[in-house]
Amino acid sequence: MAQATFRIWRGDKNGGAFKDYMVETDQGMVVLDAVHRIQAEQANDLAVRWNCKAGKCGSCSAEINGMPRLMCMTRLDQLDLSMPVIVEPMHAFPSIRDLVTDVSWNFEVKKKIKKFKPRKPDAPDGTWRMQQADIDRVQEFRKCIECFLCQDVCHVLREHQKHDEFIGPRFLVYTAALEMNPLDTEDRVADLKERDGIGYCNITTCCRQVCPEHITITENAIIPLKERVVDQYFDPLKKLFRIFGA
């Protein structure tokens, strides 16, 4: 079959450069197949992180022709192969080597978010009762495969490097899943405002557009959380009550 050129970034935290590789392509191939072929035949030490190759684990995140995507779910027949296919690591995280970045910051952020705290069981046998309709939205959030592409595309992290002040779309979705779980009794609204920097998000919806699981990140998760923050802290009527009621 046809040949295609892959322009892959090679290097580490000290810098690097793009290198071109010619690859034989087969029907149905995805970008990760091409990268593996290069690794097996031309560059044994090429660093690439991957696992399931089925869009379920979220390991092989990269930027393909400038778009944050999973390499395993990007088919070559969706790309213009008359031009070199550009494959780069995610930009929002420090480089380790080649296509692999240091995403450890994400794991640290998650630890700080207050854990799930269920209400007392509903039944004597220690179980709960929930209606499917009440958990549909949370199940949408729990589809997240933690590929961190939403974090990669978010300008607050990518351009402004606010990693110390803003938890990013992934962890706003994570917080939303906890806050909207019908069993949960914890309150994370103060944290969202003060520590997690939810105010930084100005809903450009880039995160929603790159999500491989099609989670409606902004509309279903972030905006309702913003509403809770506004409701608790910026409601003028409530403010009056606070001033005069106390």
Partner 1 sequence: MAGYVTHNYDVLIVGAGGAGLRAAIEAASTGCKVGVVCKSLLGKAHTVMAEGGMAAAMGNVDDRDNWRVHFSDTMRGGQYLNNWRMAQLHAQEAPDRARELEAWGALFDRTRDGRILQRNFGGHRYPRLAHVGDRTGLEMIRTLQDHGIHSGMEVHMECTVLTLMMDGGRCAGAFGYHRERGQFMLWQAKAVVLATGGIGRAFKITSNSWEYTGDGQALAYRAGAELMDMEFVQFHPTGMVWPPSVRGILVTEGVRGEGGVLKNRDGQRFMFDDIPDLYKNQTADGEDEGWRYTQGDKNARRPPELLTRDHVARCINREVKAGRGSPHGGVFLDIAWIKKHIPSAEEHIKKKLPSMYHQFMQLANIDITKEPMEVGPTTHYMMGGVRVDGDSQMSTIPGLFAAGEVAAGLHGANRLGGNSLSDLVVFGKRAGEYAVKFARENAVIHSDETQIGAAMKSALAPFDRTAKEGPYQIQHDLQDKMQDLVGIVRLEDEMQQALGVLEGLNQRAAQVSVEGNRQYNGGWHTAMDLPNLLMVSEAITRSAILRKESRGAQFRDDYPYKDPEWGKYNLITKQGANGEMIVEKREIPPLPAELKQIIEEMK
Cα 174 off chain centre by: 10
187 part of the interface to partner 1, by CB under 8 A: no
Q: Which stretch binds partner 1 (CB under 8 A): 142-150, 203-211, 228-236, 238-246?
A: 142-150
Q: Considering only 15-23, 131-139, 153-161, 202-210, which stretch makes contact with partner 1 by CB under 8 A?
A: 131-139
b/e sequence 167-179, b meaning 16+ C-beta within 10 Å: bbbbbbbbbbbbb
Shortest Cβ 209–partner 1 spacing (Å): 16
H, E, C per residue of 96-157: EECCEECCHHHHHHHHHCCCCCECCCCCCCCCCCCCHHHHHHHHHHCCCCCCCHHHHHCHHH
Between 166 and 171, CB nearer to partner 1 = 171
Residues between 20 and 49 with contacts to partner 1, criterion CB under 8 A: 26-30, 33, 39-41, 44-49
Token duo for residue 210: 């790159």
Q: In the complex with partner 1, which residue's Cβ is closer, 48 or 153?
A: 48
* 56 scored as a contact of partner 1 (CB under 8 A): yes
For the bound state, the minimum distance from the C-beta of residue 190 to partner 1, rounded and expressed in Å, comes to: 19
Pairing of strands 95-97, 100-101: antiparallel
The window from 79-87, 178-186, 200-208, 220-228 that contacts partner 1 (CB under 8 A) reads: 178-186
Size of residue set near partner 1 by CB under 8 A: 60
The DSSP 8-state label assigned to residue 220 in this structure reads I
Contact 36, 23 (CB under 8 A): no
Taking CB under 8 A as the criterion, the residue among 3, 66, 115, 245 binding partner 1 is 115
Q: Where are the beta strands (DSSP E) in 25-101?
A: 61-64, 67-70, 85-88, 95-97, 100-101
Phi, psi dihedrals of residue 94, rounded to the nearest 5°: -65, 145
Task: Out of 12, 24, 80, 231, point to the residue binding partner 1 (CB under 8 A).
Answer: 12
Residues 6+ away with beta carbon under 8 Å from 2: 24, 25, 81
Out of 65, 79, 146, 220, point to the residue binding partner 1 (CB under 8 A): 146
Residue closer to partner 1 (CB basis): 123 or 246: 123
- Return the residue of 58, 68, 168, 169 that touches partner 1, per CB under 8 A: 58
Does 107 engage in binding with partner 1 (CB under 8 A)? yes
Instruction: Determine the angle formed by the axes of helices 132-141 and 168-179, rounding to 10 degrees.
Output: 160
| 36 and 43 Cβ atoms separated by less than 8 Å | no
- The residues that touch partner 1, with contacts defined as CB under 8 A, are 12, 26-30, 33, 39-41, 44-59, 73, 75, 96-98, 100, 102-104, 107, 110-111, 115-116, 118, 121, 126-132, 135, 138-139, 142-146, 178, 181, 184
